[in-house]
A and B are shown apart, each in its own frame.
Chain A
Amino acid sequence: MSALRAAYDRGTRTPRGTGAAAGGVRRAGVRAALMALPLLFFAAFFAYPVGAIVTRGLHQGGSWQFGRIADVAGDAGIRHVLWFTCWQAAASTGLTLLVALPGAYAFARLDFPGRRLLRAVVTVPFVLPTVVAGSAFLALLGRDGFTDSLFGVRLDTSVWAILIAHVFFNYAVVVRTVGGLWAQLDPAQEEAARMLGASRFAAWRRVTLPALGPSVAAAALMVFLFTFTSFGVIQVLGGPMYSTLEVEIYRQTAEVFDLPTAAVLTLLQFAAVAAILALHGWTVRRRESALRLVDPALTAHRPRGAAERTLLGAVLAVVGVLILLPLGVLVARSFDTPSGYGLAFYRALGSTDGGTFSVAPWQTVGNSLRFAAIATVIALAVGGLAAAALVRRAGRLVRGFDALLMLPLGTSAVTVGFGFLIALDKPPLDLRDSWLLVPLAQALVGTPFVVRVMLPVLRAVDERLREAAAVLGASPWRVWREVELPLVSRAVAIAAGFAFAVSLGEFGATVFIARPDDPTLPVAVARLLGRAGALNYGQAMALSTVLMVVCAASLLVLESLRTTGSGEL
């Protein structure tokens, strides 16, 4: 028996072994080719500019100022900021997962009227300038706000305001990342577990949760990085008592002009982000496994039973209070003119009289859409290639590549913006005055989303499918096109939606990239908000409302592209 077994092993292993060796070399070649463009992109538009600004800070007067690292890192105030930055990000991430995971389930698996529209709407906060959304949030948590009039609790200027606002902004990250995979998980497996006698919870815990693990980790990582670099929320809702590394770096770079300190803070930020990436890599490694992916249209069902109806009710209530209410406040303000409710602010968006721009404010819609479309294409190309290269796990080097792609999310926007300015000013990269700089900066933030959304799904594609296709003589390109792409087209659409939304809302780096009069929507909103008067404020609200509608409409269009594409799965 054991001899037979050994013979069988030998018999199967030998050919597989040689095949794997040959395939291994070929795969490494393919991987290197796939990685080339993303690497080049990150080297040119991230590593080089950020390196330049950090070097400028640490290399002063002809010598390296490494002493500054110890000075700044040893400062009690800075250590406090670092601690607060980390724990608020961790707490925000935990809270977001807690609130949004039931939402991910409801949006993925339950069929209810208005589901598609609502899924687009919950993504809207993601693109809103934090100053605007923060102000609306005061209507929820501030004086005479929702919590105050209902429970007599004012949460503004408390750390809770920051945490809850972070949930508001990142709800969609979890719903879309986790929900995207959840919708494609074959419900038959959980049903099988239940048939075999597992309780509903046990079946969920043992079958569904492990399958979702990688995408939950991916969502958690993105929420963490986003809240780790939180700026506007901290300023508007936390007030001057709270400060994050991001706020400090902004202050040191843009206000105090202490570049050495800013450089050390940037390095600290890198160190913290690297630690979190390592933790994420460690958690996810080997958790990802091939899953049975099915057409999402087949998995959704009308809510059945009291439990599902309660869950759906709770999810809708949370969405209503946490997301729709603040958004509604902004919309209401955009119509609330000094002479009663009307369209005066919207009409003003069409004129150049306000002085804020030499173009009419509504034209920024065109700028934003154009930049976001280009940024989305760049992010999809770079992120898609990177994800394809990362599908098959490999050594440390490739894992480092994965981490590198995430770094821009955890890097201060002011560092990137100033870095662009001093690094990309000479041939061959003389882009300082080019319009391309804006979509490039936006794509830098969009790419990590593309990678994180696509990777769990790509890795879930059963390796045997690829091998079968390869054995039948398909080229790697053909395998990708005919085997993987159909299975991941939903993920592509979700990734594109993210990249688009991120670009539409990107403010931090864009605001520092001075361009002749083609401001994006968020920059225009910020300019209007910076001026006194009913007309300017009203226009800021109206333009924010336009931004919301543009975002929701774009996402709906992207989703409908996906539906027509995956109908035959």
Chain B
Amino acid sequence: MRTTPRRAVGALVLATAAATVLAACGSDSKDKGTDEAAGASGSKTVTLVSHDSFAASKQVLAEFTKETGYTVKVLRGGDAGAAVNQAILTKDHPRGDVFFGVDNTLLSRALDNGLFTPYTAKDLAQVPADVQLDAAEHRVTPIDSGDVCVNYDRAYFTAHHLAPPQTFADLVKPAYKNLLVTENVSTSSPGLAFLLGSAATYGDGGWQGYWKQLKSNGVEVVDGWEQAYNDRFSGSSAGKQAKGDRPLVVSYASSPPAEVVGVSPEPAQSPVGVATGTCFRQIEFAGLLHGAKNTAGGQALIDFMLGKTFQQDMPLQMYVDPVRKDAVEPPVFVKYGAKIENPATLPPDKIAADRDDWVGAWNSIVLK
């Protein structure tokens, strides 16, 4: 009766001590350095706030430090929508200097809330005019673009001697009945992009009829891209394991190269193809946060993100296309990727104005 409690107390003390040690040694030996640096000179760290999909290779970020003397601290949390909303909620007391990851579907929300301070990036001349959606004020700088498109399972269409669909109009043909899986527009950004693509193609009064046809042609709707692409789609390696039986899925133009990265030997073709006439272009922007502590560092970071090194690093990091005209894409993108010539687009203010109504209407057409 005597030793027992002591042992139990001992175990607790041990656990506490262990946790404290773990906390002390692991916790932030890495960013302690940067924090101290920031505290000392007030400007050697530049903080980038972004969403969970942001990625950049170590060497490229190290090069930024070598060129400018600034160290980048990256804060990533939630998906693009959540990250933008968090930035708006904290706009009076921003968490960093630069925000990256607001796209054309969310741009108006960010600009209307006064999230950014104008800054004209150094190499803006290298960026095509059609992606400069804030060309008048330069509150945001375009960094990358990506196309949301219907992807197809090559093997399925070869086996069934069927030409894969290429356009929005193809998808409602009887030949493709019960083949397509897409995402809920209320919870998924590619799902919303596909709806916007159909609205851009069929117009304000026409997309509802199109979706009624899609529905009677057996479109399946799941909640997220992960379920659609990894579980339901038959063409992805994950979908094959999960016995997915839908050979058409709403995904990205960059999914085909992503499917072959790390696969050896390199196949002649990606198992996934892109229906090039079903695409909606998403453009992602970076902006200097209003009230940033390190304005000069933030400006340098935006310049760097538009620079050739970062732009050429992006494709394999985030599976997006660089916006810079002279950026060279990695060979795997050139070989397996699809170039989308005329993607559907909509102006950001139009998206902002109609989005909620469209989502509501889509819900009652497709889900009810």
Interface residues, chain A, CB within 8 Å of chain B?
A: 56, 131, 134-135, 138-139, 142-145, 235-236, 239-241, 247, 250-251, 253-257, 333, 336, 338-339, 348, 352, 355-358, 366-367, 369-370, 373-374, 376-377, 380, 414, 417-418, 421-422, 425-426, 432-433, 435, 481-482, 485-486, 489, 492, 496, 511-518, 523, 526-527, 529-538, 561, 564-569
**A373 and B236 in contact, given A527-B52, A534-B262, A564-B7 (Cβ under 8 angstroms):** no
Tell me, in angstroms, the Cα distance from A526 to B11 when the chains sit together.
Answer: 34
A504 CB, min distance to chain B CBs, angstroms: 14
- Cβ 8 A contact of B19, one of A377, A513, A535: A377
Q: A433-B75, A531-B53 are in contact. List 19 more A-B contacts (CB 8 A).
A: A131-B224, A135-B242, A144-B243, A239-B223, A240-B184, A247-B187, A257-B109, A355-B55, A356-B55, A373-B19, A481-B9, A485-B4, A489-B5, A492-B12, A514-B75, A516-B30, A534-B259, A538-B237, A569-B4
Q: A336-B241, A374-B19, A533-B237 are in contact. Are A432 and B95 (CB under 8 A)?
A: yes
Query: How many angstroms from the CA of A366 to the CA of B86 in the assembled complex?
Result: 28
Is the Cβ of B85 less than 8 Å from the Cβ of A374?
no
Which of B129-137, B250-258, B274-282 has 4 or more CB atoms under 8 Å from chain A? B250-258
Asked whether any CB of chain A lies closer than 8 Å to the CB of B318, the reply is: yes
A134 and B226 CA atoms in complex are apart in Å by 11
Q: Does B177 contact A (CB under 8 A)?
A: no
A489 / chain B contacts, CB cutoff of 8 Å: 4-5, 8
Whether B125 sits at the interface, judged by CB under 8 Å, is no
> Is there an interface contact between B367 and A422, defined as CB atoms closer than 8 Å?
no
Inter-chain CA distance A275–B276, complex, in Å, is: 53
Cβ-defined partner of B223 (8 Å) among A235, A253, A564: A235
Q: Is the CB of B22 within 8 A of A530?
A: no
A254 near B319 with CB under 8 A, answer no
Q: Does B227 contact A (CB under 8 A)?
A: yes
Among B76-84, B114-122, B343-351, the stretch that binds chain A is B76-84
Report the count of interface residues on B (CB-CB < 8 A): 84
Q: B residues within 8 A CB of A355?
A: 55-57, 316-318
CB within 8 Å of A: which B1-25 residues: 1-5, 7-9, 11-12, 15-16, 18-19, 22-23
Residue from A433, A512, A530, A537 in contact with B53 in the complex, judged by beta carbons closer than 8 Å: A530
Known: A143-B245, A370-B23, A376-B19. A532 touches B9 (CB 8 A): no
- Chain B residues lying within 8 Å of A356, measured Cβ to Cβ, are 55
B331 CB, nearest partner CB in chain A, Å: 16
Q: When the two chains form their complex, are residues B243 and A516 in contact, meaning their CB atoms are under 8 A apart?
A: no
**Measured between C-beta atoms, what is the minimum distance from A245 to chain B in Å?**
15
C-alpha spacing A492/B319, complex, angstroms: 47
Alpha-carbon separation in the docked complex, A531 to B229 (Å): 10
Complex Cα–Cα for A374 and B21 (A):
10
Q: Which residues of A contact B225 (CB under 8 A)?
A: 530
Judge whether B74 is part of the interface by a CB distance below 8 angstroms: yes
Task: List B contacts of A138 (CB < 8 A).
Answer: 231, 242
Which of B16, B187, B251 is within 8 Å of A377, CB to CB?
B16
Whether B258 lies near A531 (C-beta < 8 A) is yes
The interface residues of chain A, by DSSP majority, are classed as: helix
Interfacial residues of chain B within 208-236, with CB under 8 A of chain A in the complex: 221-227, 229-231, 236
Return chain A residues, CB-CB under 8 Å to B78: 254, 417, 511-512, 514
Q: Which of A131, A516, A567 has a CB less than 8 Å from the CB of B31?
A: A516
Indicate whether B123 reaches chain A with its CB closer than 8 angstroms. Answer: no
Residues of B within 8 A of A370 (CB): 19, 22-23, 26-27
Contact check, B8 vs A421: say whether CB atoms are below 8 A apart. Answer: no
A244 to chain B, nearest CB (A): 12
Q: A366-B26, A370-B23 are in contact. Are A565 and B7 (CB under 8 A)?
A: yes
Q: Could you tell me if B23 and A142 are in contact, using CB atoms closer than 8 angstroms?
A: no
Q: Which A residues are in CB contact (< 8 Å) with B11?
A: 561, 565
B28 close to A (CB within 8 Å): yes
Check B22–A425 contact: CB distance below 8 A: no
Q: Which residue of B lies closest to A339 (CB)?
A: B264
CB distance from B272 to the nearest CB of A (A): 8
Is B269 close to A, CB under 8 A?
A: no
1/0 contact string of B314-355 vs chain A (CB within 8 Å): 001111000000000000000000000000000000000000
A–B Cβ pairs within 8 angstroms, 24 of them: A135-B242, A142-B231, A142-B242, A254-B79, A254-B85, A338-B237, A355-B318, A358-B56, A358-B74, A369-B22, A425-B93, A426-B93, A433-B75, A435-B28, A489-B5, A530-B52, A531-B258, A532-B258, A533-B237, A533-B258, A535-B262, A561-B11, A564-B7, A565-B7
CA–CA, A566 to B226, complex, Å? Answer: 46
